[in-house]
Structure 1
Amino acid sequence: MKNSILAYLFACLLLQACDSNSEKTSSSPTISVSAPEKGFIYLDGQFTGYSTPADLKVTQGDHVVGVATEGSKEYFRRELHIDENVDIKMTAADKPAPKVWKALWLGVQEVTGSTQSGHCSSVFSKEELDAGYDFFMWSIEKQFEPFSFHTTKWEVERKDITVPVELHKTSSNWFTLEPDALTELVPEIKPGAYDVVFVFWRESDGTCSFKSPYFGLAWTDPLNEPIKTGYVTIKFDAGDNIQDNINWYKENDPGVWVHEWLHTVGETYFQNRGERMPEKGGDGLVLHAAEKYHYTYPWMDWYSDFMSGQVKDLASPSTYCGIGPEAFLQMSLRESALQQ
Structure 2
Amino acid sequence: MKQILGILLLTIALQACDSGSNKKDTLPSITITATEKGHVYLNGQYTGYTTPAELKVSKGDHVFAVATDESRQYLRREVNVTEDTDIEFTPNDAPEPKVWKALWLGVHEVTGMSAKGRCSSRFSKDELDAGFDFFQWSIDNQFHPMSYNTMKWEVERKDIQTPIELHKASNTWFTLEPESIVELLPEVKAGNYDAVFVFWRESEGDCSFQSSYFGLAWTDPLNDPIKTGYITIKFNAGDDLNENINWYKENDPGVWVHEWLHTVGETYYQNRGERLPEKGDDGLVLHAAEKYHYTYPWMDWYSDFMSGRVKDLGSANTFCGIGPEALLQKSLRESAME
* TM-score clears 0.5: yes
SS of 2:244 mapped into structure 1? helix
Structure 1 partner of 2:67:
68
SS in 2 for 1:184: helix
Measure the CA separation in 2 of the matches of 1:156 and 1:287: 24
Corresponding position of 2:114: 115
Q: CA deviation at 1:60?
A: 1.5
Structure 1 residue 321: Cα displacement: 0.3
Q: Alpha-carbon deviations, 1:153-177, whole Å to 9, x = none?
A: 0000000000100000000110000
Secondary structure at the counterpart of residue 269 of structure 2: helix
Moved over 2 A (4+): 19-23
Counterpart Cα distance in 2 of 1:20 and 1:279: 39
RMSD over aligned CA atoms reads 1.5
Instruction: Note if contact 1:26-1:84 (Cα within 8 Å) is conserved in structure 2.
Output: no
Match of 1:13 in 2: none
Give, as a single letter, the amino acid of the residue that structure 2 aligns with 1:36.
Answer: T
Task: Go from structure 1 to structure 2 and tell me whether the alpha carbon gap of 1:295 and 1:25 turns closer, same or farther (over 3 Å shift).
Answer: closer
Q: Tell whether 2:296 aligns with 1:294.
A: no
Whole-Å Cα distance in 1 between the matches of residues 218 and 20 of structure 2? 55
- Structure 2 runs not aligned, ≥5 long: 1-14
Aligned with 2:325: secondary structure?
helix
2:225 is matched with which residue?
A: 226
Give deviations 1:105-151, integer Å, cap 9, x for gaps.
00000000011211100000000000000000000000000000000
Residues 75-98 of structure 1 deviation map (CA, whole Å, 9 limit, x = unaligned): 100001112110011123311000
Helix, strand or coil: the match of 2:212? coil
| Contact residue 112 and residue 166 of structure 1 kept, 8 A | yes
Distance in 2 separating the partners of 1:322 and 1:266: 8
**Alpha-carbon distance between aligned partners in 2 of 1:22 and 1:91, rounded to the nearest angstrom:** 35
Provide the rounded CA distance (Å) in 1 between the counterparts of 2:93 and 2:193.
28
Task: For residue 23 of structure 1, report the CA deviation from its aligned partner.
Answer: 6.6
* Partner Cα distance (2:22, 2:83) in 1: 11
Q: Distance in 1 between matches of 2:26 and 2:139?
A: 44
Q: 1:243: which partner in 2?
A: 242
Kindly state the Cα deviation for residue 29 of structure 1 after the two structures are TM-superposed.
Answer: 1.0
Query: Equivalent pairs: percent with the same residue?
Result: 71
**Structure 1: gaps (5+ residues):** 1-15
Could you say if the C-alpha distance between residues 22 and 84 of structure 1 is closer, same or farther in structure 2, counting changes exceeding 3 Å? farther
Report the residue type matching 2:139 in the other structure. Answer: I
Number of corresponding residues: 323
SS in 1 for 2:55: strand
Other structure's SS at 1:277 match: coil
Q: Which digits, 9 at most, give the CA deviation of each residue in 1:161-208, with x for residues without a partner?
A: 001000000001100000000102111101000000000000001000
1:21 Cα offset (Å):
8.4
The within-5 A match list for 1:162-201 is 162-201=161-200
Equivalent residue number for residue 23 of structure 2: 24
Q: Match for residue 305 of structure 1?
A: 304
